Amino acid sequence: MIITSSGELFSWSSSQRKFGVRVGLVPTMGGLHEGHISLVRAAGRDCGAVVVSIFVNPKQFGQNEDFNLYPRTLDADKNLVESAGLRDKVRLFVPSVEEMYPLGFDSVVHVGGVTGMLEGAFRPTHFDGVSTVVLKLFNISGADVAYFGLKDYQQVCAIRKMVADLNIPIDIVACPIIRGADGVALSSRNSYLSAAQRIQATVLSQSLLIAENLIVSEGCRDVGKIIGAVRDKILTAVDAKIDYIAIADTKNLKELKTLDNCPEAVILLAVKIETTRLIDNKIINIP
């Protein structure tokens, strides 16, 4: 079930495609949860073969970020993937850093346009690291389709743009955010939260619901007022520090000044609860 060599994975994938089997890819950094498994199940429904990559990618972490702390739970991850019930359909690709970035590796994939704001403003090298490793995974896996969660909304936009700009022959499927019973979007970094901090983290999803109610039920189109209401709710959590709140075009992530004559928008948040940085978002269909 576990493959560590790029060559071995490419051979396995090629053998599947040779017989007309559609290959799906679910790229992850491990620390798997039900959000990831929802992607694995989606891939299993659509494809006859599924690659789940587990690689904590050093190139998408900036200085003083949590690369060394990031959850590495391979045995638990393997068991969780097996719980999806796909049996022989799935291969876990678990490469080493040296396998992905051999001695002398010196290339970077930069996606312009949708990466310079929001996460890109706070984490300037992040998306270069993401796009570089994702393109490598596309090539190594030979996948026909790749599955990403919408919790990382800007990442999905960046990957779609990379695929379009570089004519990469792969379909991108974006799957819904999976939330806990308390509304917190599932994330590997949630494991950093104490019980008290987890309660505080619920303000992210609650603030998004407040924004949705203002827009949909109350007809508010004033972006400043909506952002103010979101900010006020988030700051009821005593340990919350806001990196950004943005209301943007769903396609190009340009921030909107008004919602007049706008059929759809996405609200994006990045908030630290004590030292744990969480992101969340919600797409709003505007009546």
d(Cα 58, Cα 97) in Å, to the nearest integer?
8
Write phi, then psi, for 137 (nearest 5 degrees). -65, -40
3 contacts 142 by C-beta, under 8 angstroms: no
Q: Is 110 a residue of the active site?
A: no
**Exposure of 121 in the CB half-sphere (CA atoms within 13 A):** 9
d(Cα 277, Cα 287) in Å, to the nearest integer?
32
Catalytic residue among 33, 36, 110, 126: 36
154 contacts 118 by C-beta, under 8 angstroms: yes
82 contacts 93 by C-beta, under 8 angstroms: no
204 contacts 234 by C-beta, under 8 angstroms: yes
User: Can you list the alpha helix ranges (DSSP code H) found in the chain?
Assistant: 6-18, 34-46, 74-82, 97-100, 119-122, 126-141, 153-165, 195-212, 223-234
d(Cα 232, Cα 252) in Å, to the nearest integer?
27
Q: What is the DSSP code (8-state) at residue 103?
A: T
Q: Which residues are identified as catalytic? A: 36
